[in-house]
Structure 1
Amino acid sequence: MPTHVDQVMQLLCRVAQEKEMRAAIKHSREGASLAFVGAFVGGLLEGPPGIAIGGVLGGLLGAWVASGQFKPVPQIIMELPPAKQQKLYNEVIAIIRNFDWTDMVQLTALVMGNSDLKFLLTSAVEKFFIRELRAQMKYGK
């Protein structure tokens, strides 16, 4: 049966919620910008020693920003741009296409009742998040 991207995203949200998956998206570009700004401002204010001090302080602040904050994976999935959702959808369909199901209700029951299938989908989401979003993953509270 043909499925819609949003239906599969809802299924992934349900699996991720059950596993209490959280992810932190790294913001390395913003972190590097803060290190640069710190060095630049330090150099303007104090010359060469200010560059070093500003670079260190900006680098520390940048590292903190780049570490990201952990958010629930279901929230991130629903906020993904359509192109990323489509890519995740394609990966998930490759896993579930060989199983016997006729609609999303039956597929959801199949997934939620099968720990191996649930594991496969959880792994697919985790790999996608690490590869495509450069995310750090955590499970549980």
Structure 2
Amino acid sequence: MYLAQPSRREASPRRFRMCHRVNDVMRLCCELSANQQVQTTVRGSGKGAAAAGGLAFAGGLIGGPLGIAVGGAVGGLLGCWMTSGQFKPLPQIIMELSPQQQQKLYDDLLAVMGDIQWTDLVQLTALVMGNATLKQQLTATLLGYISKELQAQVHYVD
């Protein structure tokens, strides 16, 4: 009698639950960051500032005070063009993380969450949003991860 061995590619129920739990926590992160109105700058805002300042300086050398104004305006537009697309809402960045990055963030957040048990995203969100201290700790851990691991700057949108 021949018994087929399950292939290693087939997902075990435990692995599926872990993937489901990671997805729940990633969606919770999106909810936390959306409530905080957070955007991130992914490396490069210094380029825009350098373009604006550099052209204002060059304009000042060439045209005096009027050259500073023109150079600053042109430099500002150039800086805007150079950095377009680099400011992203944090939920978008979270959902674009690689599986390895999501796992690392999940592990960091799980250390803060402790022994919290949940069955679905709705229950997890209710548990976290109902506990101001836990919500603050998870948000701080999320923003720390984004700053440290992705080397992104965090900005609050007014």
Q: TM-score range by the shorter chain?
A: 0.5 to 0.7
The answer to whether the 8 A contact 1:26-1:68 is kept is no
1:102 aligns with: 118
2:140 aligns with: 123
The one-letter code sitting in structure 2 at the alignment partner of 1:111 is: V
CA drift of 1:70 comes to 1.9
Q: Whose RCO is larger (CA < 8 A, sep 6+)? A: 1
CA drift of 1:89 comes to 0.6
The one-letter code sitting in structure 2 at the alignment partner of 1:13 is: C
What 5-or-longer segments of structure 2 have no aligned partner? 1-16, 48-74
* Runs ≥4 residues deviating over 6 A: none
Q: How does 1:1-141 map to 2 (within 5 A)?
A: 4-27=21-44, 64=79, 65=82, 69-99=86-116, 101-104=117-120, 105-141=122-158
- 2:86 match: secondary structure: coil
Identity %: 42
CA drift of 1:112 comes to 1.0
- 1:80 match: secondary structure: coil
Question: What is the aligned-residue RMSD (CA, Å)?
Answer: 2.8
CA drift of 1:67 comes to 9.4
CA drift of 1:97 comes to 2.4
Give the whole-Å Cα distance in 2 for the aligned partners of 1:86 and 1:9.
Answer: 9
| Structure of larger gyration radius | 2
Q: How many residues align?
A: 110
What 5-or-longer segments of structure 1 have no aligned partner? 32-59
